[in-house]
A and B are shown apart, each in its own frame.
Chain A
Amino acid sequence: MRKHRWPDILRMRARSLLRRRRVERELEKELRFHIEQDIEEGRIRGLSPDEARSAALRKLGGVTQIQEECRDMRGTNFIENLGQDVRYAARALAKSPGFTLVMVLTLALSIGATSAIVSIIEGVLLRPLPFHNPGRLVRVFTSNRAWPKFPINPNDFRDFRARLRSFESFAAYTRNDLQLAGTGEAIRLSGFAVTADFFHVLGLKPAMGREIERNDELPGKGFVAIVNNRIWRTRLGARRDALGQKIVLDGVPYTVVGVMPPGVQHPGNMYHAVAYGDTVDVWTPFTFAHPNDRGSHYLDGIARLRPGVVPGQAQGEMNAAMRQLAREHPNSATGWNLLVITLDSEIVGRSEHMLLVLLGAVALVLLLACVNAANLLLARATARRREMAVRAAVGAGRRRLIQQMLTESMLLSVLGAAVGVAMAVAGVKALVAVLPADFPRAGDIHVDAPVFLLTLLVAAGTGIVFGIVPALHGSRTDLRESLHESGRSTTSSYGTLRLRNGLVVSEVTLACVLLIGGGLMLRSFVNLLKSEPGFRPEQVVTASVSLPEAHYKDGKSIALFGDRLLAEVRRTPGLRAAGLGSDLPWTGWDENTGGFQIQGETPPPKDSFNARYHTATFGYFSALGIPVVRGRAFGEHDNADSGKVLVINQAMAKYWQHGDALGGKVTFSDHPKESDWITVVGIVGDVKDTPKDAGAKAAFWWPMLQEPWVRQFSIAIRSNLDSKLAADRLRTAVRKLDGNLAVADVRTMELVANGSYSTSRFAFVLVGLLAALALALAAIGTYGVMAYSVSQRIHEFGVRMALGARPRDVVGSVLANGMKLAMAGTAMGILLGLGLSRLLGSLLYGVDAADPVAIGATGVIAILVAALACCVPAMRAMRADPMTALRAD
């Protein structure tokens, strides 16, 4: 029943409020009608018109009183009072600008920080991905014990696609950068080879033309390309007739069959990863060229689930299909399971943890700001007790007093929110600028309407939370006592002080929790900076070159180019070392899952020897500063004509349990002839695959000039040159040999190295800033309480000093008082922090969640800052004038 009343009630309230004049007029008319009816009745009973009129008016009483009471009943008085309260609150706040400034600033900082973090969370975690129905998109991987997340084999993919029922559509893709030449300067396009339906899976349609079809997957048919909007505009002249045009990619003419609209986002991939975002220039068909290969895994799978199918079901169906495939191809398709996870978690999964930690930190700061504001308001309310008492004496009810005080706190928080939102807008821009390079969806982050609304809600909530305690407290006025009480009192109200002490303790507690978090982040960051990367990034400039198959048909021509490029680069003045390699530290690797044999060693049961692999030339290790621990690095003579050799890292050397790794022999052949055994000629220092890995995995390097099958490789040069000059030198060296080659990814190795610290630095900077803010808030709170309690006891101090207490005793008593609170808060904060810091988990590096240094430092800082905050009030206590105290008594 209640439900039905709401529309009526709302309509009536709105009417009373918005059409006040009309409502008033109607009431007047209604009353007049009533009087006239009375007069009429009087006349019928036989009174004269005059007598009837005066009888009716007598009965009526005061019209204004009736009107006022009706107004009350309509509930509009609340609104009118509110206007009055806001004006009153504004005047009261303007009268104490210092208090107002501190309140608004602390609220603005915490509300602003909250809304900045929420903006990031909203953009990254909450906003749906810009694909059609993104909730049904999943990524598909193969998986086994050693490689929990691994790409798919192309032929397995094709069988899955034909057999699976859980997917509405299923596509695969793999990185396939292409060199665009012929229409201006040669550039490297970030490209992917995709199977049919790739865009269909994502729910994207070309702006012009078509997408990749099954027919394009056939060998010899795949020379078609879809370009993104940027390439269409900059390299194809934005022409409507671009379809059907030929572009030269890697020296081969491709027909443009489609142009994508602006803003197509790449869903991210795994090996040689290209980040999620507008990061891909060109898509070409993936051709199934090796129908019998079930061993190579290099496709990223993406699929759209049928409505109502959950990832787990799809995974179950795929595993069944995989078992069937293993029966059909027992030699190579065995031992794998499938892993189906939502695209959403794959893209943002890694950053989710950090964002939630930040959200937690910012929530703590907001809570702290509330406590602090409540504390300051409470002090103010106590100081204004007489004012409240006067207002109560002239008839303001308790509700009215609470309403008025809440208005004041709401006004403060709304002001804080306004300033805070401005800070958030600026802050989010700054945050996005310092986001880690690989942070997903950075482009989707901005302060928008939902965040703005949320900020307002948070502000209103804060206003009530920090306002309610002081309001309840302040409105509980004992008239007689308050009015009677003179300006100074010897005994401050015990309840108030206890409440305020409690607030200070909780402020210090919260600040300590954040300090511990900040301290742990700082330690992790420093650890990362200090951690030995295994290479020396200073003074190293790198670039990437890719040799198109059309012009470099065989390994010999690749080796020849590599040889000549190195010879050219080595003529650089000031050069100390130069080398080529399939990849650089921390940028990628390939994985050998099939394993290899080691002469004289047996692999652990149910396992094989395997390692990540790279290729490198002479000069590579010295250019990157990777130390040769034993043996030698590759030399110029390690080429196709010499004996087969490998360089391995220390992690791989541990495979040799019986013999010596150096000089040991390895083979990749199942049934090796004498010539298939490869000799280990050098052991180099470990370089982790990514900077946050716990340790390095086993890895080895082929001599690139001996095994020249890598077409895309990196150059690294170490020189005394300025990095710009060195980069120019690299470019000219490549151009001199082949003007059609693009020189891509020109950057210093330091940039690569710094990029990998950025996540940790970001987390540390943010948590550190929040911890600093928390500390400042706690200091303000402590100062506020101590100053208040000293002002309450100043008379007492005066008397004490008159009786012979030394200033030192007075200061000591104040400090002891403050320290008691600070220590209680610190102890609780450390306990709470110990519990909460476990949640930081993988954000920590090389430091325990219960790190004694971080905890000790937190304790010292918290107590020192609290002591500082107590100093000023203590000094004031010391200057209490005994004469004043005595005279006043």
Chain B
Amino acid sequence: MSRPSDLIQGTLDLLILKTISIEPRHGWAIAKRIQQVSEDALQVTQGALYPALHRLEQQGWISAKWRATETGREAKFYQLTKAGAAQLEKELAQWERLSNAVGLVIRMV
């Protein structure tokens, strides 16, 4: 499950929302963070990342601001909106339920 295109769409959304839930991040940092935390198991390409970001923004889950990075370059930083935070909670709970269920089935059989 290393290729991002294999990721079902909802999962990528969940990963993005979770990644920016602690602090606002720009696109590259989001991809990098997901890659690092998953120990390179998940690599998100631009082709998947940016459409997802745009969709989330259109849906009002996240909002974006242009500001300077530590190195002084202009980048678009994404952060959760209030509605996005609530959505994240919901999706996390859902994910927990699903993965528990899948785990149960796998162990039982």
Q: Is A881 an interface residue (CB 8 A)?
A: no
Which residues of A are found within 8 Å of B50, using beta-carbon distances? 27, 30-31, 66, 69-70
Q: Is B11 an interface residue (CB 8 A)?
A: no
Excluding A30-B50, A38-B28, 15 further A-B contacts by CB distance (< 8 Å) are: A1-B87, A5-B59, A9-B58, A9-B59, A12-B57, A12-B60, A27-B50, A33-B75, A34-B27, A34-B46, A36-B73, A61-B45, A65-B47, A66-B46, A69-B50
Query: What CA separation (Å) do A1 and B83 show in the bound complex?
Result: 6
Q: Is A26 an interface residue (CB 8 A)?
A: yes
Q: Is B82 an interface residue (CB 8 A)?
A: yes
Question: How many residues on the B side are at the interface (Cβ–Cβ under 8 A)?
Answer: 28
Query: What CA separation (Å) do A30 and B60 show in the bound complex?
Result: 19
Q: Which of A13, A29, A34 touches B74 (beta carbons < 8 Å)?
A: A29
| Contact call B83/A8, Cβ cutoff below 8 A | yes
Q: Which of A1, A33, A62, A75 touches B28 (beta carbons < 8 Å)?
A: A33
Q: Assuming A29-B74, A30-B76, is B54 touching A74 (CB within 8 A)? A: yes
Q: Mark A51-67, 1 if CB is under 8 A from B, else 0.
A: 00000000111100110
DSSP class of B's interface residues: helix, strand, loop or mixed? Answer: helix
Which residues of B are found within 8 Å of A59, using beta-carbon distances? 45-46
Sampled A-B contacts (8; CB under 8 Å) = A1-B83, A8-B83, A27-B54, A29-B74, A38-B28, A60-B47, A61-B46, A73-B55
Q: Mark B66-108, 1 if CB is under 8 A from A, else 0.
A: 1000000111100001110011000000000000000000000
Query: What CA separation (Å) do A349 and B85 show in the bound complex?
Result: 57
Q: Assuming A16-B58, A34-B28, A72-B51, is B83 touching A4 (CB within 8 A)? A: yes
Q: Assuming A26-B76, A30-B27, A61-B45, is B54 touching A9 (CB within 8 A)? A: no
| Contact call B54/A73, Cβ cutoff below 8 A | yes
Q: Is A19 an interface residue (CB 8 A)?
A: no
Q: Assuming A2-B83, A33-B26, is B47 touching A61 (CB within 8 A)? A: yes
Which residues of B are found within 8 Å of A33, using beta-carbon distances? 26-28, 73-76
| Contact call A70/B59, Cβ cutoff below 8 A | no
How many residue pairs between the two chains, A and B, have CB atoms under 8 Å in the bound complex? 83
- Which A-chain residue is minimally distant from B71 (CB atoms)? A40
| Contact call A13/B51, Cβ cutoff below 8 A | no
| Contact call B58/A12, Cβ cutoff below 8 A | yes
Q: Is A144 an interface residue (CB 8 A)?
A: no
Which residues of A are found within 8 Å of B66, using beta-carbon distances? 26
Query: What CA separation (Å) do A13 and B59 show in the bound complex?
Result: 9
Query: What CA separation (Å) do A5 and B52 show in the bound complex?
Result: 17
Q: Is A884 an interface residue (CB 8 A)?
A: no
Shortest distance from the beta carbon of B33 to any chain A beta carbon, whole Å: 12
Q: Assuming A30-B27, A59-B45, A66-B46, is B60 touching A9 (CB within 8 A)? A: yes
Q: Is A133 an interface residue (CB 8 A)?
A: no
Which residues of B are found within 8 Å of A1, using beta-carbon distances? 82-83, 86-87
Query: What CA separation (Å) do A60 and B87 show in the bound complex?
Result: 30
Q: Is B63 an interface residue (CB 8 A)?
A: yes
Query: What CA separation (Å) do A637 and B87 show in the bound complex?
Result: 102
Which residues of A are found within 8 Å of B46, using beta-carbon distances? 31, 34, 59-61, 66
Query: What CA separation (Å) do A5 and B83 show in the bound complex?
Result: 6
By a beta-carbon cutoff of 8 Å, the part of chain B in contact with chain A is 26-28, 31, 45-47, 50-52, 54-55, 57-61, 63, 66, 73-76, 81-83, 86-87
- Which B-chain residue is minimally distant from A26 (CB atoms)? B76
Q: Is A37 an interface residue (CB 8 A)?
A: yes
Shortest distance from the beta carbon of B63 to any chain A beta carbon, whole Å: 7
Shortest distance from the beta carbon of A1 to any chain B beta carbon, whole Å: 5
Query: What CA separation (Å) do A65 and B48 show in the bound complex?
Result: 10
Query: What CA separation (Å) do A1 and B86 show in the bound complex?
Result: 8
Which residues of B are found within 8 Å of A74, using beta-carbon distances? 54, 58
Which residues of B are found within 8 Å of A9, using beta-carbon distances? 58-60
| Contact call B45/A37, Cβ cutoff below 8 A | no
Which residues of A are found within 8 Å of B81, using beta-carbon distances? 4-5, 8
Which residues of A are found within 8 Å of B83, using beta-carbon distances? 1-2, 4-5, 8
Query: What CA separation (Å) do A74 and B64 show in the bound complex?
Result: 14
Q: Assuming A9-B59, A13-B58, A16-B58, is B51 touching A66 (CB within 8 A)? A: yes
Q: What are the 5 A-B residue pairs with the smallest beta carbon separation, nearest first? A: A8-B60, A5-B60, A73-B55, A69-B51, A37-B28
- Which B-chain residue is minimally distant from A67 (CB atoms)? B50
Query: What CA separation (Å) do A38 and B35 show in the bound complex?
Result: 13
Which residues of B are found within 8 Å of A72, using beta-carbon distances? 51
Which residues of A are found within 8 Å of B58, using beta-carbon distances? 9, 12-13, 16, 73-75
| Contact call A66/B47, Cβ cutoff below 8 A | yes
Query: What CA separation (Å) do A110 and B47 show in the bound complex?
Result: 52
| Contact call B54/A8, Cβ cutoff below 8 A | no
Shortest distance from the beta carbon of A47 to any chain B beta carbon, whole Å: 17
Shortest distance from the beta carbon of A460 to any chain B beta carbon, whole Å: 25
Which residues of A are found within 8 Å of B51, using beta-carbon distances? 66, 69-70, 72-73
Most chain A beta-carbon neighbours within 10 Å: one of B59, B74, B81, B87:
B59
Which residues of B are found within 8 Å of A31, using beta-carbon distances? 46, 50
- Which B-chain residue is minimally distant from A13 (CB atoms)? B58
